[in-house]
Amino acid sequence: MLSRKNGINYYQNAKDDEKVKNVYAGIDIGGTTVKMALIDEEGTIFDKWEIPTDKRESGKHILRDIAASLHQATGRLHNVHHILGAGVGAPGYIDVENGVIVEAVNLGWKNVAVSAELGEALGVPVFADNDANLAAAGEKWKGAGGDADNLLAVTLGTGVGGGIIAGGEILHGYAGLAGEIGHITVLKEGGAPCNCGKQGCLETVSSATGIARMAKEALNQFDGESELKNIQTANGTIEAKDVFAEAAKGDELASSIVRESMDHLGFTLANLCNSLNPQVVVIGGGVSKAGEQLLEAMRGSFTRFSIPKIAQETEIKIATLGNDAGVIGAAWLAKQKLITPEASR
């Protein structure tokens, strides 16, 4: 099926003058959809699509669906793409070395050998890592990270996730928990309880959920005038984006919540930078849509709590890839593992 000429792979059934493009498959498995893309060696997405995540029967159909969809996609592309390998991101605890998803509660998975099973179905090497780590790698490679070898990514969404790239590689730590920066304690006393089992985590004050909770609590104890209160009355609830929007318009209550939340974020990022010295910090997730408003609100606290050289030199940026970060990071993983085998240690 495949021939080689001048170092380039050609499919026999491709037109003679048609160059076959080498690509990596980037796969980002979420609880609702599986995002997939074919990505070339420069990180350009050639094709992307998604399929629903079939969680029935402990998620046993997911890998088969992914393989079928990829086969269909490469067919649709008239075989002009040659898949060199695939990277897979999944939520949960991953045995990176063996490509096994030890546990992914959202998918119903326990001990799923992604690299072995999908590798056999696709006929190419498959590598797996945590989805937050791969989103960090995506932003590093083609997003706001500017291909920095030392980068810290934080995702402010429903929760707070993160990934650390150091010396060009994803940090995993002893049990794969490295990068779980959402559970850094920021409130030593009186913090809200967190899903992780402790309290006062960054996630309780800087996630979308945490910001909304703080707004609701503040409104419960607030007798004055605030547009936030009107929004709560009209919508029956308050979301983080409302808090940022009203703060931008000058609402004092909303501003105080943004200040408090971003003070904790700045404190946490400063201390991480003091100890890890990344070149770039990339802030993503839904809350990061506040953009410059968010950066401005956290910059004072970041500067105040950073070693002066760190405060001066660390670039803090808003993520640029959105939902594509995961598939691009997954392709980066496959490329990195296939090009530098020692990186797979």
Stretch that binds a second copy, among 37-45, 47-55, 128-136, 309-317 (CB under 8 A): 309-317
> Which tokens in the block code for residue 71?
């086969």
**What's the closest the beta carbon of residue 178 comes to a second copy, in angstroms?**
4
Q: Which is nearer to a second copy, 143 or 179 (CB)?
A: 179
**What's the closest the beta carbon of residue 327 comes to a second copy, in angstroms?**
24
Which residue in 29, 231, 310, 327 binds a second copy (CB under 8 A)? 310
- Closest of 24, 27, 90 to residue 59, by C-alpha: 90
E-strand stretches of the chain: 2-5, 8-11, 21-29, 33-40, 45-52, 81-90, 93-95, 100-104, 109-113, 126-130, 151-156, 160-166, 169-170, 280-284, 315-318
Which residue in 148, 228, 231, 321 binds a second copy (CB under 8 A)? 148
The crossing angle, in degrees rounded to 10, of helices 227-235 and 252-276 is 100
Residues 6 or more apart from 32 whose CB is under 8 A from it? 52, 53
Q: Are 305 and 176 spatial neighbours (Cβ–Cβ below 8 Å)?
A: no
Which residue in 198, 235, 237, 322 binds a second copy (CB under 8 A)? 198
- Closest of 257, 301, 253, 330 to residue 94, by C-alpha: 330
Under rule CB under 8 A, how many of the chain's residues touch a second copy? 49
Stretch that binds a second copy, among 25-33, 41-49, 164-172, 216-224 (CB under 8 A): 164-172
Which residue in 4, 5, 56, 188 binds a second copy (CB under 8 A)? 188
For residue 282, list its beta bridge partners. 153, 317
**What's the closest the beta carbon of residue 136 comes to a second copy, in angstroms?**
13
Please report whether residue 142 would count as binding a second copy according to CB under 8 A: no
Q: Which is nearer to a second copy, 109 or 302 (CB)?
A: 302
Please report whether residue 339 would count as binding a second copy according to CB under 8 A: no
Stretch that binds a second copy, among 27-35, 120-128, 180-188, 247-255 (CB under 8 A): 180-188
> Which tokens in the block code for residue 56?
């029935």
Kindly state the DSSP code that residue 344 receives in the 8-state scheme: G
φ, ψ of residue 26 in degrees (nearest 5):
-105, 125
Q: Which is nearer to a second copy, 78 or 304 (CB)?
A: 304
Please report whether residue 189 would count as binding a second copy according to CB under 8 A: no
> Which tokens in the block code for residue 285?
């997730």
Rounded Cα distance between 312 and 306, Å, is: 9
**What's the closest the beta carbon of residue 187 comes to a second copy, in angstroms?**
10
Which residue in 52, 173, 300, 322 binds a second copy (CB under 8 A)? 173
Interacting residues toward a second copy by CB under 8 A: 148-150, 162, 164, 166-169, 171-181, 183-185, 188, 196-198, 267, 270-272, 274-279, 304-310, 313-314, 340, 342, 345
